[in-house]
Structure 1
Amino acid sequence: MVDALATKGILSPFPIQEQTIPLGLEGQDIIGQAKTGTGKTLGFGLPLLQELGLNPEPGVKALVVVPTRELCVQVAEDLTLAASNRGTQVAAIYGGKAYEGQVEQLKAGAQVVVGTPGRLLDLANQRMLSLKDVKVMVLDEADKMLDLGFLADIEKLFAQTSPTRHTMLFSATMPGPIVALARRFMNRPIHIRATDPNEGLTQANIKHVVYRAHSLDKDEVISRILQAEGRGKTVIFTRTKRAAAKLVEELNDRGFNAAAVHGDLNQDQRERAMAAFKAGKKDILIATDVAARGIDVNDVTHVINHTVPDDHDTYLHRAGRTGRAGKTGIAVTFVDWDDLHKWALIDRALEMKQPEPVETYSSSPHLYSDLDIPEGTKGRLPGAGPVRPREPRVTEGDRGGRSGGRDGNRSGGGRDANRSGGDRASTSGSRPPRERNHGTTDVVRESAEGGGTHDGTSPTRRRRTRSRRGGAGNPTPPPAA
């Protein structure tokens, strides 16, 4: 395994690996807690593979449960690398993909399964996945599984395994329900925290920059940050799927090379976007929090929070996409005026000492100096082409909700109709009068339905033709009173 890892330049262990690997090799149950991006996967992966032996028998002997599809793929890739010189097969089992390929891997005798709770239970209920021979079980990012409501599913998976199994639980944060879960399903676990006591809650190798920004100026600010000196791969987090889709379109229009990962995309689209980002074909990834735990790319230099995260744990996981494997990174967060209270809670929890973000616009001088953006940088790349025309704003009148909107009332259904003898209409504003005034009813109804002078007829001409009884505009005279 050491030789296999050396092919990818992994030569020395991180603190969490130094502390957990020796205990894991002895079969000790472990609760491992370390900041994101510090090598937790190999901290449990190497003892797991060692425990199975060089050439394990076919059938599932080890189970790694993860909260998201992206993280499932990432962990499976790491374990496959570590086991590349062994006779151990690793299968990734997760939703959004066809069952057939995953079932084939299980039938072929895969010994290590990395999976998301829902798909694992599906296959177990269909008797296509047996967990009775599992020797080692790992929960990775256990706190996220709690957030996503997977606690009941995890308990069902534990119930299908042997009570004598070796159990390891890893996470960046350790809420109370996760500790309670560990006590129920683990045998005298040792809790290991691999953190420097003199280091704050945030990673020391990440520079945290916080700006109070206007929502209409954010795209312009982001476009200038993306032209900073030394910028490598960049991850931008948005609060909603719609915001992610809109931002990726906007940045591509400005000449940048961006891809998106969010819940409205199918699994193949998400995997293609992630693969393009990892390979460097796309250097900007726009994501919702669904992907925050699965982006393990060592050369991400910038993380941008388009909106404030919901809590300090989410902030840590987002910021942890940069500064991985000991490298440095920059995390930029935009705070809307309405979210200042939310940022104050995050700032207090993480002891960042930035309770009042500085007001920042795309033309602010400190934006350029803070982030090493060259002077004179604009929000579009030189070869990006002309600005896309914006779609016109839709008014209530365009939707047909009211009678022609303001213009419609002015041109036909409002003042002009009142002048033509319909004095009663003047008391109702833009609302058409009732049927009693036969001389002007058709005038008002026609202008309300026709939307004013959109047919090219002048208001004066229309008034004359419509208000004459028996004229061209009103061929059938009303009945006599």
Structure 2
Amino acid sequence: MTTFTELGVASDITDALAGKGIVDAFPIQEQTIPLALSGQDIIGQAKTGTGKTFGFGLPLIQRLGDDPEPGVKALVVVPTRELAVQVSEDLELATSNRPTKIVSIYGGKAYEGQIEQIKAGAQIVVGTPGRLLDLAGQRLLSLKDVQEMVLDEADKMLDLGFLADIEKLFAQTPATRHTMLFSATMPGPIVALARRFMSRPVHIRASDPDEGLTQANIEHIVYRVHALDKDEVIARILQAEGRGKTVIFTRTKRAAAKLVDELNERGFNAAAVHGDLNQDQRERAMAAFKAGKKEILIATDVAARGIDVDDVTHVINHTIPDDEKTYLHRAGRTGRAGKTGIAVTFVDWDDLHKWVLINRALDFGQPEPVETYSSSPHLFAELRIPEGTKGRLKPKPKAESQAPAREPRAEGERPARSRTRRRTRGGQADGSGADAGSRSERPAAESASAERPSEPAGDAPAREGDAAPRRRRRRGGRGRSGASQSAESSQGGAEA
């Protein structure tokens, strides 16, 4: 292994990295750092997780000088917010012994804090195309003095439709800038972009030899699992021997939100990162996962590019990715930095055709996934799950089926009094003419009759001149006592 010092990196930068245990360079770093330090434009082709950030970040920092003047001198363009945060953290580590300032520019966060950092003289800007163009259009971000420009994960930006935005950003920077472009694949539009905006770039390919090593470090397991049994299978895998941090990928935001609730209810410590969460929630979830406060992260594919954690032991594909490139990006979250990992993929019956194409493209030799259930013996054996493991860490709380019984009354205790107040349209309660004593001594039958006016009190006909009852009759007419009371009340009102 070659050290960063041997590659010509300044001592203050190497000391900052050594403080975090980072001393030896990865293959992509060995090839890019010496050329980048000399000012050579570079096209780096390497899969995610191979150390590209330090491959372009260390030369970029060193070329700006020990104490660069205030103002934007370097621009790093990334496709996603999560990747912007991760790249910024790596560059802040490398510049911890220098006065160089770094600012992250991306959507979902308030403008004010980002604008203040730019005005304070930040020299390195890491951002997503949309927010960068937004601030540049408001004349709050000037790119006319940019000396170093990096385009990271260019193929992903192409997939997300950012190609036109990238061209606008390039057009706002000086033609004499030093440019580095990194991408896992090299589709035609990316090659055309490089030819247009780069000066005699050197093409470095570090993906082929390193990809073979990474594949050897990752054990790929594919199961055909019923949709209704996926949660139980996942919960049992999460109890496998040696299982550390785990990333679970879902196809949709709704599936991610549902799965995190299910796992937390089962007693696991899970967080989620998806598009329905605001940026603060996503950053808190990612930070908790990196710090080990959350051991399970459920994510959609957009967030995958920003998950740069070395100690992920398992990746679980809750739903199969659409193609082999997405599969490699998902599986690349584990087996990083030379460590081993396990990638488990669930294939629904309707998605078998997708797995056939992925298997053929990656030459896995597993054309037919094994039909698997949460009770299948091979599931326990292959993933080293202890026998008898169930998919719940804590018992499900029992719902109270009935209200607690009332304590028996003591002998001689007066029974609880239940009163029903009913207001008439006149605004007075029924029986208002009677005092409390006569109301309490009223016979039960009379009281019941008064409380249920729809039941007839007798067969006596109503007197001539009685007012018509205001309530809709249900069964029979108003009782004699009710009708006479109404009539007397009406006549009394007329005479008054």
Which residue of 2 is the match for residue 346 of structure 1? 358
Q: Could you say which residue in structure 2 is the equivalent of 1:97?
A: 109
**SS of the residue aligned with 2:43?**
strand
Q: Give the residue type in structure 2 aligned to 1:159.
A: A
Q: RMSD of the alignment, in Å? A: 1.8
Q: Secondary structure of 2:181's match? A: strand
Report whether the alignment pairs 1:301 with 2:313: yes
1:386 maps to what in 2? Answer: 397
User: Is 1:32 matched with 2:32?
Assistant: no
Q: CA deviation at 1:387?
A: 7.0
Aligned with 2:217 (options 201, 205, 208): 205
1:384 CA drift (Å):
4.2
Equivalent residue for 2:68, pick from 56, 80, 83: 56
Structure 2 letter corresponding to 1:277: F
Secondary structure of 2:267's counterpart equals: coil
Q: Give CA-to-partner distance per residue, 1:30-80, whole Å, 9 cap, x none.
A: 111112211000000011011100000000000000000000000000001
Q: Which amino acid aligns with 2:222?
A: V
Aligned: 1:320 with 2:320? no
TM-score (norm 1): 0.79
| CA separation of 1:366 and 1:205: change in aligned 2, threshold 3 A | same
Q: Deviations over 1:290-348 (max 9, x none)?
A: 11000001111101000010111111111111111111111100000000001111111
Contact 2:74/2:148 (CA < 8 Å) preserved in 1?
Answer: yes
Whether the 8 Å contact between 1:201 and 1:350 is mirrored in structure 2 is no
The DSSP-based 3-state class of the residue aligned with 2:248 is strand
SS of the residue corresponding to residue 55 of structure 1 reads: coil
Conservation of the 8 A alpha-carbon contact between 1:65 and 1:140: yes
Q: Deviations over 1:125-148 (max 9, x none)?
A: 000000000001001111100010
- The amino acid across from 2:371 in the alignment is E
After superposition, the Cα gap between the structure-2 partners of 1:387 and 1:150, relative to the gap in structure 1 and judged at 3 Å, is farther
SS of 1:204's equivalent in the other structure is helix
The answer on 1:181 being equivalent to 2:193 is yes
- The letter of the residue matching 1:386 is P
In structure 2, the CA distance between the partners of 1:36 and 1:230, relative to structure 1 (3 Å rule), is: same
Q: Which runs of 4+ in 1 moved over 2 A?
A: 195-203, 383-389, 472-475
Aligned residues: 393
**Structure 2, unpaired ranges of 5+:** 1-12, 401-473, 478-496
CA distance in 2, matches of 1:168, 1:230: 39
Can you list the C-alpha shifts for 1:229-265, whole angstroms capped at 9, x where unaligned? Answer: 0111100000000000000000001000001110000
1:219 aligns to 2:231 (yes or no): yes
Task: Report the Cα distance in structure 2 between the residues aligned to 1:215 and 1:91, rounded to whole angstroms.
Answer: 43
Equivalent residue, structure 2, for 1:272 = 284
Answer whether contact 1:201 1:351 (CA < 8 A) is retained: no
Aligned partners of 1:32, 1:198: CA distance in 2, in Å?
Answer: 13
In 2, Cα distance between equivalents of 1:198 and 1:69: 27
CA contact (8 A) 2:214 2:336 kept: no
CA distance in 2, matches of 1:138, 1:258: 34
The 2-side partners of 1:99 and 1:340 are apart by 45
- Could you tell me which runs of 5 or more consecutive residues in structure 1 were left unpaired when the two chains were aligned: 390-471, 476-481
CA 1:473/1:26 → structure 2, altered by over 3 Å: closer, same or farther? Answer: farther
- Please name the residue that 1:237 is paired with: 249
Q: Report if aligned partners of 2:214, 2:335 keep a CA contact under 8 Å in 1.
A: no
User: What corresponds to 2:97 in structure 1?
Assistant: 85
- Equivalent residues of 2:37, 2:63 under 8 A apart: yes
Percent sequence identity over aligned pairs: 83
Contact 1:34 1:171 in 2 (8 A): yes
Aligned partners of 1:205 and 1:327 also within 8 Å: yes
Against the structure 1 CA distance between its residues 157 and 254, is the aligned structure 2 distance closer, same or farther, given a 3 Å change threshold? same
Kept after mapping to 2: 8 A contact 1:213/1:361: yes
- Check if 1:367 corresponds to 2:379: yes
| Alpha-carbon separation, structure 1, partners of 2:224 and 2:399 | 27
- TM-superposed deviation, 1:198: 9.1
Matched position secondary structure for 2:216: coil
Among 128, 139, 146, the residue aligned to 2:151: 139
Contact 1:37 1:323 in 2 (8 A): no
Shift in alpha-carbon separation, 1:199–1:124, aligned structure 2, 3 A: closer
| 1:166 matched residue in structure 2 | 178
8 Å Cα contact 1:96-1:266 kept in structure 2: yes
Q: What is the rounded CA distance, in whole Å, between the counterparts of 2:100 and 2:399 in structure 1?
A: 53
How far, CA to CA, are the matches of 1:312 and 1:199 in structure 2? 14
Indicate if the aligned counterparts of 1:253 and 1:388 stay in contact, CA closer than 8 A. Answer: no
Aligned residue for 1:337? 349
AA in 1 matched with 2:397: P
User: What is the TM-score of this pair, normalised by structure 2?
Assistant: 0.77
1:334 alignment partner, SS class: strand
TM superposition shift of 1:195: 3.5
- In structure 2, relative to structure 1, the CA distance for the partners of 1:126 and 1:224 (3 Å cut) is same
CA-to-aligned-CA distance 1:156-180 (integer Å, 9 cap, x gap)? 0000001111100112222221111
Distance 1:81 1:178, change over 3 A: same
